Amino acid sequence: MIKEMMLAVLSGGTGTPKLLQGLARLAGQEKISVIVNTAEDVEISGLYVSPDIDTVMYTLAGIVNEGTWYGIREDTFFGHEMLGRIGGRELLRLGDRDRAVSLRRTQLLREGKTLSKVTLELCERLNVRARVMPMSDDRVRTVVHTEAGALSFHEFWVARRARDRVTAVTFQGIEKAKPAPGVIEALEESEAIIIGPSNPVTSTGPILRVREIGAALSKHKEKVIAVSPIVGNAPVSGPAGVLMGGLGYEVSPVGVAKIYRDFVSVLLVDEGDRERVEEIAKLGIRAVPASLLMPDLSSRMKLARMVLETVI
């Protein structure tokens, strides 16, 4: 049964890739379309870096660095170090192999190809069999508004370690952004749409704000399931907590449910959050307790199975 299903997964760059490993083992990569956040895309040393696409692509290619969920396993950093010696500063530390991927992406973009075509080509080269798509070929940029001023996502998170109080988050270019080719078809054709356990403000948030994508999920709400990235009162990793708090959401699966209420019919919450199930039901969402932490492959497969069994 599971083997026959077509799945669409909305992804950022840390939590959802873990789940994707499990889903790929259970359903097979060929059955999976991944729609990836591009609002954190950034120019580094003249290269177009797409951190979430890269993490998804490297995960499915079996080469991701699982220590950081960023970059390629056992990569070296000679280029980054040499750049530092000659005065080149980089906001993100790019490994040598990782840099080669961004270099190739930049070359292909300069030849006039779209980000979705370039992503397809890179995936083919890396033997990724799932369909990995940017949410849009149009440029969207996350702006985190804080008491210290307006910051890009990486300035806020990497350079300033999320120390500034957040007052708002906006996505430059989102109003005009069209879904990348194939995205809406993948959502329509899939038996289940999974919003992975990613940051609901800056990872899945921008994907859902691409108007036609949000509309497609609302329309097919009955087959949309989300996995909470918040366990208890904190994210498993990353700045989701400070971002949700800054926007006035409770940092809990209930806060996640409020963000997703127009788009999902089911939310997996951690077993420890069982007592919040009824509150979430009042928002029109069926909350299902599950073991949400995914430290290893067996827990990733177990959660993936739970997701699929709950949504079908």
Angle at 235 between CA 232 and CA 237, to 5 degrees: 140
Q: Which of 8, 9, 10, 16 is the binder for ligand GDP (CB under 6 A)?
A: 16
Residue 27: what are its φ and ψ, rounded to 5°?
A: -100, -20
- Crossing angle of helices 115-125 and 96-110, in 10° steps, is 140
Taking CB under 6 A as the rule, does residue 247 contact ligand GDP? no
Q: Does 294 bind ligand GDP (CB under 6 A)?
A: yes
Token pair listed for 42: 């950034």
Q: What's the length of the chain?
A: 312
- Are 115 and 138 contacting, i.e. CB atoms less than 8 angstroms apart? no
Chain positions 206 to 245 lying near ligand GDP, rule: CB under 6 A, are 227-229, 235-238, 240
Residue 179 beta carbon to ligand GDP: minimum distance, rounded to whole angstroms: 19
Q: How many CB atoms lie under 10 A from the CB of residue 15?
A: 26
CB 302 within 8 A of CB 22: yes
Give the separation between CA 156 and CA 171, rounded to whole angstroms. 14
Least Å distance between CB 130 and ligand GDP? 16
Binding mask 71-110 for ligand GDP (x = CB under 6 A): ----------------------------------------
Cβ distance to ligand GDP smaller for residue 213 or 240: 240
- In angstroms, what is the minimal distance from the CB of 229 to ligand GDP? 3
**Shortest spacing between CB 87 and ligand GDP, in angstroms:** 29
Q: Does 197 bind ligand GDP (CB under 6 A)?
A: yes
Tokens of 77: 């950093």
Task: State the residues that interact with ligand GDP by CB under 6 A.
Answer: 12-16, 18, 52, 197-199, 203, 227-229, 235-238, 240, 292-294
